[in-house]
Amino acid sequence: MTISSSVDQTLSLGESVGQTLRGGEILALAGDLGTGKTHFVKGLARGLGIKDSVSSPTFTLIHEYRGGRLPLNHFDFYRLNSETEALAIGLDEYLDGDAVTAIEWGDKFQNLLPASTRWIRFHHLEEGKRGIEF
């Protein structure tokens, strides 16, 4: 498990991962509220060369970022109530392409995610510290 001792470290970890991506990767982010999933995705976007500011898609369910080295789709399953709802917003189509897809609360509907999905698990340690398992 990698320890992140600050928001900046979580951003940097995301950025490093973002720099390695080649397109088509699906990253499922699992972990309790406030463990740093959104901040990690902000870093991912930075690593992909995306200049837009990244915010949680909690209410809109999906954000698409273009203009970087690869497109980034950012989902958050937190407010989704069923697999049917996830499919209705076009999840399968997003997963099919060459974009990178990051899914917060991906463990909520893990049946919808392919076997190739990379799981990243976030843990709350002490104040200001998070554990990130790749």
Ligand X SMILES: Nc1ncnc2c1ncn2[C@@H]1O[C@H](COP(=O)(O)OP(=O)(O)OP(=O)(O)O)[C@@H](O)[C@H]1O
Q: Which does 115 bind (CB under 5 to 8 A by kind): Mg ion, ligand X, none?
A: none
Longest dimension (CA), the chain: 39
Least Cβ distance, residue 21 to Mg ion (angstroms): 20
Residue (98 or 125) nearer to ligand X, CB = 125
Residue nearest ligand X, Cβ-based: 36
Contacts of 71 (CB under 8 A, 6+ apart): 64, 65, 97, 98, 99, 100
> Which residues lie near ligand X (CB under 6 A)?
4-7, 9-10, 31, 33-39, 56, 104, 122, 128-130
